Structure formats: structure tokens, C-alpha cells
Amino acid sequence: MQPVTEDNITDLAHQRWTTARDPRLAELLAALVRHLHDFAREVRLTEAEWMAAMQWLTRTGQISDDKRLEFILASDVLGLSMLVVQMNHRLDPAATPATVLGPFHIEGSPELGYGGDMSDGVPGTPLYLHGVVRDLEGKPVAGGVLDVWQADTEGAYESQLPDIDEARLRAKYTTREDGGYCVRTIAPKGYSIPMDGPVGDLISRTAISHFRPAHIHFLVNVPGYEPLITHLFQEGAEYLDSDVVFGTKQELVVRFEQREAGETPDGGSSAEPWLEARYDFVLQPTS
């Protein structure tokens, strides 16, 4: 039996994890062991600190469910999510940049037509967001599905509201033959990430802002093109320079223009003042 020491424990653990039957799993876990051990040595991790970390991870798992994805939130605020996005989506500079999915996306949003109202009675300033989905050569992309979701004017997503049992501030829109789309919703508002859980507890011990700037999420899926997960941010919104999940990019900042009551981009009309935003999504073909 080989004695285990501080000097050889990393090599021993590394060797064991390289025996994983899947080569990629062996690579991932062996590297994880090395980096975890290096971290513990660098900071001279104490037993009390190790136990605090185990308890934090336990609480993160306990608070997570199919609507609250606390581990994804942890990944977001540590910058890991955006790092993974950047490494895996090395898009053409002309393509719309990708950002994080975030912890609040829900599958199965209802399908709405051009200009359909996904706010459906949720109070707020009406916002019409429209434009074209096209490729790098400027060709319009027809039949593309835009999965859209956002927070309400109190900064809450549907998944955070236990009494909501139907789709709220989320929908899917399909581009027309000319690549055009039109989303009818309400103006988003900047909001705090959930601060009542383990991630919020960690953030509260720092000088990090726990707010996100006003934005709307988009997941654009079109066969033959790279899937696009991104946000659009309101120009002039607070926290653009301090987004807690590192998701803001200048190319995704959009002006919200004030409009008077009257004709709207979908061919209808509004009896009250509304906001208009224009944005063209540019997709990159799959390699």
C-alpha cells in the first residue's frame, strides 16, 4: 500500500480519474482534480473553509428545482458561463454576438404571430421590437424561430412567481418570408438577481452590484445556422457597465424610441404611447 502524503495525493487522484472509460470524461475529471488541488494549495485551504464550501454547495442544490437553477446562476456570476459562451461561439464579427442563457428560460413557450402580444395584460409601457433575421450575406432567413422571454416591471420572471400556471412574458415568433419579425411586449426593467439563496448570500459579502440592466432574452434556432442565445439591452439603462453576469455587449444595446398613440409596426394601432426598438439578427451558417 502506497502511503498518501500531501506531495503525492494529487498524482494519485489524477491517475485514478484518468481511468474513466470515456476519454473526454477522463480528460475533464483529471484536469479538474489538478486544478482543485492547485487551488487548495495556493490559498492554503482550511478545514473550516472546506466545510463552508460543502455546505454552500449543499444549499445551492437544495434550493434548485425545475424553475430555479441556482447552479447556473452561480456559474453566471463567476463569469464561467460567459467564458464557455465565448469559447464555443467564435462567430464572425458581423454576426450577432452570443450571451448567456441565464437561469430563467422555460421550454414550451406559446407560438404567436407577427406582432402578437406576449405581455397579454401584464402592466407596463407597450414595446414593439421588430426587425429582420438575415445571414452574413444579407439574405433574409425565413421560418426562423425566435424564443423570447423577459422579466416584468418588478424584475420578476414567470419561474419566480409560484402562483403563475400559464405562460407569462414569453413566446415564440416565426420570421416571415422576408425574414421579418415583430414582438409586442412591455419595456423591460433592470433587476436584481435572486438574493435570497446561496449565490445572493455570497454576493452580499462583496462590493459586486447584484443588478442586471434592462434586457430581453432571445434564443434563435434556424436549421443550417449556428443557434444563437443572446439579449437585447435598452440604451441608457442602468448597470450596463456592471452587469452581474457579464452579459452586456455594445452590439446588443438598442435604442427605445418614444412613439405617440397611433399606428404600430405590426399594422395595427395603439391607443396609448408606446416604445419602438429595431434590431436585425445576423446568423452564422453552421460549419
Q: What does the pLDDT read at residue 160?
A: 85
Query: Is the torsion defined by CA of 64, 68, 69, 71 positive or negative?
Result: negative
Q: What does the pLDDT read at residue 7?
A: 92
Nearest CA to 85 out of 74, 75, 93 is that of: 75
Residues 6 or more apart in contact with residue 275 via CB below 8 angstroms: 125, 126, 127, 128, 187, 256, 257, 258, 259
Residues of the chain falling short of pLDDT 70: none
Asked whether the beta carbons of 248 and 98 are under 8 A apart, the reply is no
Rounded CA-CA distance 287/267 in Å is 38
Residues 6 or more apart in contact with residue 143 via CB below 8 angstroms: 174, 175, 222
Q: What does the pLDDT read at residue 161?
A: 86
Q: What does the pLDDT read at residue 277?
A: 98
Q: What does the pLDDT read at residue 214?
A: 95
Nearest CA to 99 out of 179, 213, 266, 235 is that of: 213
Q: Which domains does the chain have, with CATH numbers?
A: 9-77 (no CATH), 84-283 (2.60.130.10)
Q: What does the pLDDT read at residue 68?
A: 87
Task: Report, in this order, helix, strand and coil percent for the chain, each rounded to 5.
Answer: 25, 25, 50
Q: What does the pLDDT read at residue 120?
A: 86
